Amino acid sequence: MVNPFTPSSGLSRAQGVTFDEGLRAHMVRVFGTMSGGLAVTGLVALLVAYTPIGAAIFGNKILGYAAMFSPLLFMFFMNFKLMSAPAATAKTMFWVFCSLMGLSMSTIFMVFTTQSIAGVFFITAATFSAMALWGYTTKKDLTSMGAFLMMGVMGIFIASLVNLFMGSGMMQWVISVAGVGIFTGLTAYDTQNIKRMYSENWGQEANSKLAVIGALSLYMNFINAFQFLLSLMGDRR
């Protein structure tokens, strides 16, 4: 059976081997970039949380809000610029975004114990790895699942805005459970979609930037799943 996510039909055996090798190298680049982004986020978060930088920023209400919302604002900027930007610029924007996310997420070290943060991180990593592997190896088309999960993301966003005013602990619990499930599922979908995008752009320079775009989507899935899982399982100080 022909895999719908590779251009295997019409290729010679040598071309097929070249494609498979290129795909593996592309996926290594994607996951390497994503892992590097997580490392940058973690290092920045630790630096801010455990140095006077954190007190200086979050001791000032205006600076504190600016730090917390800076990743969201930068994400809007990236949405407009990323597709048209050169690969080198796209990489720079990715690293800046990961740094801003670390600045914003430094507050978790002020709320949760270090042990619970580490525990939840490894649980998230294990779940993420399993879903990414499934998304990479499955022959099932996950497009319909991805569309459903994206509707779920919108639902979580709206529910979170509503709960800002309601302050319901039960509603927050439901949102967190749904968030873990949705972003875990999106990990499989995005992994398969990265394969599809590589197939459609095989042999083109665009794949350098597509690796960054793929890393960003997986990075966001990991971060969101981690945050929702931490709100469910994390031990507060």
Q: What is the mean pLDDT of residues 227-237?
A: 90
Mean pLDDT lowest for which of 3-17, 28-42, 62-76, 114-128? 3-17
Range among 91-100, 143-152, 166-175 rated most confident: 91-100
Beta bridge partners of 112: 236
Q: Which tops the pLDDT comparison, 180 or 19? A: 180
Q: What is the mean pLDDT of residues 189-195?
A: 94
Phi then psi dihedrals of residue 11, to 5 deg: -100, 145
Q: Rounded to whole angstroms, how far apart are CA atoms 27 and 215?
A: 9
Q: What is the pLDDT of residue 10?
A: 52
Q: pLDDT band at 2, cuts 50/70/90? A: very low
Q: What is the pLDDT of residue 40?
A: 97
Q: What is the pLDDT of residue 70?
A: 93
Instruction: Enumerate the domain spans of the chain.
Output: 13-233
Q: What is the pLDDT of residue 165?
A: 85
Q: Rounded to whole angstroms, how far apart are CA atoms 126 and 226?
A: 11
pLDDT tens figures, 80-139: 888 888 888 999 999 999 999 999 999 999 899 999 999 999 999 999 999 999 999 999
Q: How far is CA 157 from the centre of its chain?
A: 16
94 contact partners, CB below 8 Å, separation of at least 6: 33, 37, 212, 215, 216
